Amino acid sequence: MTDSTLPTTGAPATPAPMRVVGLPLAHHDFVDKVKGTQLYAADWKLPGMLYGRVVRSVVPSARIRSVDTAEARALPGVIAVLTAADVPSNRIIERASGGLGELAVEMPVLAGDRVRFTGEPVALVAAVSQQIADEAAELVEVDYEELPGVFDPESALATDAPRVHDEGNVLVEWNIRRGDAEQALAEADLVVTGEYRSQHAEHAYLEPEAGVAWLDNGVLTIRVSTQVIEHAATISGILELPANKVRVISSYMGGGFGGKEDMTVEPYLALLVWHTKRPVRMIWDRQESMLASTKRHPFVMRYRTGVRSDGTIVAQDVDIVGDAGAYPYLSARVLFAGAALSCGPYRTPNASLRSRAVFTNNVPTSAFRGFGAMQVVLGYESQMDRVAAALGLPPAEVRRRNFLAKGDTIPTGESLDTAVASEETLRRALDRLGDPPAPSGPTKRVGRGFACNMQPYGRTIWFRDRASAWLSLQADGTLLIRSGITDLGAGQAASLCQIASEVLGVPLEEISVYIGDTALTPPAGGTYATRQLYMSGNAVLHAARQLRERLAPVAAAMLGCPADELSFTDGLVRGGPAGTGLRLAELVAGCERREVDTSVLAVWRAEQGAFDPVRGQGDSFPDYTYGTHATDVEVDIETGEVTVLRYVASHDVGRCINPMRVAGQIQGGAMQGLGYALMEDVVFEEGNAASTLFAHYFIPTAMDMPDVEVEIVESGEGKGPLNARGIGEPPIANTAAAVANAITAALGRRPTQLPMTPERVLELCPD
């Protein structure tokens, strides 16, 4: 990272500066990570520990005639071989989408008489070493009667297509309608159409799926790399145990990106521990992870955009088909987000937005940073450039004429009650790019493109959401924070410390934070949907303010000044402008003498709404983060290779809690987005993933990446703590569209299928 990547902050509406919040302070977990001493999920050995392995289907669609485990069981060192019959309640209960119309299809923990994708779990092995477990897995003989499969969602929509599930191949269909899109399109000055296709993508976290589980006084305890410790409830259901008998502990993670939002190793560890009564470790190696873990949904997106001759949008008709793979997972929600956000940050008075999640015999797809709202940016931002080209208007101007504003209503029918800072992010991104570059040679073409987006943060608000936090000021004035959040490596826990430090004046190094334990940390919900700064940040802010309110009268009495003149900074409470400082340790002692407890357990609840799936109208998300990415690319017209010369990413984060972490999220998101835009693709051949190693699935290395230049906007109007907005998912979303628009600018022809590999780009190049 060079100097050029350091963010600059400040915007017209910049909120008032604070003492700790807003500073680029290092996470408390930096050192352990840099030195390699961070303990991850599998970094424990327990006495008598076994090693687990999942036996997986080698065919994408089949009836199982029999599973013969005799040979595997006979292998010395094998302690258990389990099949579907050994699972007390053999179904993974997906979190309900609120009864909003999707098929009631359940996934078994272990396949019984049917497999629906290559990699589906069929049996489990536990052995005294990993090598023996792996060997035993090979010895489990499954007799498959292969059945016809269906491998792309559009084929699966045909009435005569093989059925992935008896219930049908369409998991869910969402329809969001506002005004009369057909009529408006008919009356529009111009209608632009486009079809866009995205691919299966892999989360490709450094740390694969892993965990260790054991019995602790009858409590099944699972230490696992997960975004969601609340799956403990699902696990207790599978084992038919009361919920107090299952505990899930999350370690710090080596990446999640949504891939650890669903369960991974948990149910298999749980079954093996429950059957053997011994500790068990399970680590999916890279090949297993690539083969069987969930992927990002490929979308087929068809857009018809109607505009007036001045570029004003009058209607959008959008039809999205997403490949759900073989089981529901979170596809219903991903496709909702896709439809709900398919018009982007633009006023759209008439909209007909349809999305369908369709079963295939591919590996299941589910959550991945961006969650449906990301794929559609390629659609709406390609459309915006096409409109601009057709009307001969500058692309930025077309967007400016259509940007949403506070108070506007979006196609779901909800009204925006916070600032829309799209225009400011667009200005900052384009200003930073400055003059366009010249091509580096005669066979090179350069082009500039950009893409604006709006990405929700927080869960769909028709699910009641809440988070809690427990803060204790200790005898020496140091602070402990406990929260049930999981930390994906982005500093989720560190932000909580910075917020508490701001309110209570405890120096950051005197705060420790403990997270992610269903038994011992207060419930915070999972770390997904860019919800944790919003939810748990608010919970900690709320708890810290409650604690301060409790401390203030004691401090005021001790200092002999009014409580409203107190300041809490640098480990001191000061009374009045000239007042002497009271150390927090003294204040705690004063509280103890007065029987005032210095520990607060607080709950914070998010706003709630409702959505009517029949009318396609209602509330959707609590709020949105707006941003613009702009890039200059150079295309080699002899090879189709695309080089990203400059890349600027600008987002409004409302209030920046820590510019280093915001920049980290934005840079990481943009880089992951560039991999997605240019190279990443899980290629399937008749349901079998052909790319199950990094030798075949390319992710960008540091050498492939430009400096990502960051422009942080602070509108001061988010719904997170201190008016912050979430920044976890937003910065991955714009990238593919920005690059596609830049390639189009360079070549005059538009790529519409991801990834934009040299082979595909070469087809767009002049001969």
List residues binding its own copies (CB under 8 A): 28-29, 31-32, 35, 37-39, 43-48, 214-219, 233, 236, 242-245, 247, 252, 277-278, 464, 468, 470, 474-476, 478-480, 482, 509-512, 514, 517, 519-522, 592, 595, 597, 599, 601, 603, 605
Nearer to its own copies, 521 or 672 (CB): 521
Q: Which of 400, 417, 422 is nearest to 711 (CA)?
A: 422
* Identity of the residue, 191 or 585, whose beta carbon is nearer to its own copies in the bound complex: 585
Closest CA to 13 of 709, 686, 603, 655: 655
Q: What is the largest CA-CA distance in the chain?
A: 85
Task: Tell me the residue length of the chain.
Answer: 767
* Closer residue to its own copies in complex, CB, 38/492: 38
Minimal distance, residue 584 CB to its own copies, in Å: 11
Q: Rounded distance, CA 657 to CA 494, Å? A: 10
- Those residues whose C-beta lies under 8 Å from the C-beta of residue 582, and which sit 6 or more positions away, are 555, 558, 559, 572, 573, 574, 575
Q: Which is nearer to its own copies, 46 or 390 (CB)?
A: 46
Nearer to its own copies by C-beta: 95 or 203? 95
Q: Indicate the DSSP class of residue 100.
A: S
CA 90 to CA 706: how far, in whole Å?
Answer: 48
State the nearest-atom distance from the C-beta of 278 to its own copies, in Å.
8
Return the number of other C-beta atoms located less than 10 Å from residue 13's C-beta.
15
Give the nearer residue to its own copies in terms of CB position, either 141 or 510.
510
Judged by CB, which is closer to its own copies: 170, or 601? 601
The kind and range of the H/E element at 463 are: none
Q: Is the dihedral of CA 555, 560, 566, 569 positive or negative?
A: negative
d(CA 625, CA 530): 10
Q: How far is the CB of 295 from its own copies (least distance, A)?
A: 31
Kindly state the smallest distance separating residue 201's Cβ from its own copies, in Å: 31
Cα–Cα distance for residue pair 355/360, rounded to 1 Å: 16
List, as one string, the DSSP characters of 652-702: E-SS-S-HHHHHHHHHHHHHHHHHHHHT----EETTEES--STTTS----G
> Which residue from 32, 40, 59 is spatially nearest to 283, judged by alpha carbons?
40
Query: Per-residue DSSP letters for 286-307?
Result: HHHHHHHS-BBPPEEEEEEEEE
Q: Which is nearer to its own copies, 424 or 502 (CB)?
A: 502
Q: How far is the CB of 271 from its own copies (least distance, A)?
A: 18
How far is 326 from 341, CA to CA, in rounded Å? 25
Instruction: For its own copies, give the closer residue by CB, 191 or 596.
Output: 596
The least CB distance from residue 43 to its own copies, in Å, is 5
Q: Least CB distance from residue 582 to its own copies, whole Å?
A: 18
- Least distance to its own copies from the beta carbon of 512, Å? 4
**Encoding tokens for residue 229?**
């410790």
Q: Which is nearer to its own copies, 9 or 38 (CB)?
A: 38
CB of 465 to its own copies, least distance (A): 12
Which DSSP letter does residue 508 get? G
CA distance 467 to 465: 7
Least distance from its own copies to the Cβ atom of residue 671, Å: 25
Residues 6+ apart with CB under 8 A from 519: 219, 247, 249
CB nearer its own copies, residue 173 or residue 230: 230
CB nearer its own copies, residue 175 or residue 546: 546
In sequence order, what are the residues at sequence separation of 6 or more whose Cβ sits closer than 8 angstroms to the Cβ of residue 614?
Answer: none
For its own copies, the closer CB: 18 or 519? 519
Of 417 and 476, nearer to its own copies (C-beta) is 476
In single-letter form, the type of residue at position 309 comes to S
Report the residue number, 55 or 263, with the smaller CB distance to its own copies: 263
- Cα–Cα distances (Å) from 66 to 113, 140, 497, 551, in that order, read 8, 10, 54, 67
The residue among 183 and 244 lying less far from its own copies, judged by its C-beta, is 244
Nearer to its own copies, 278 or 386 (CB): 278
- 154-159, long-range: CB within 8 Å, 24+ apart, which pairs? 154/300, 154/321, 154/358, 155/360, 156/358, 156/359, 156/360, 157/321, 157/356, 157/358
Positive or negative, the CA dihedral 540, 542, 543, 545 is positive
Q: Is 2 helix (H, G, I), strand (E, B) or coil?
A: coil
d(CA 642, CA 645) in angstroms, rounded, equals 9
Containing 427, the helix (H) or strand (E) segment is: helix 422-433
Estimate to the nearest angstrom the gap between the alpha carbon of 543 and the chain centroid: 26
**601-614 b/e (C-beta count within 10 Å ≥ 16 → b):** ebebebeebebebe
Interatomic CA distance for residues 327 and 624, integer angstroms? 29
First to last CA, the chain: 37
CB of 468 or CB of 688, closer to its own copies:
468
Pairing of strands 78-82, 642-652: unpaired
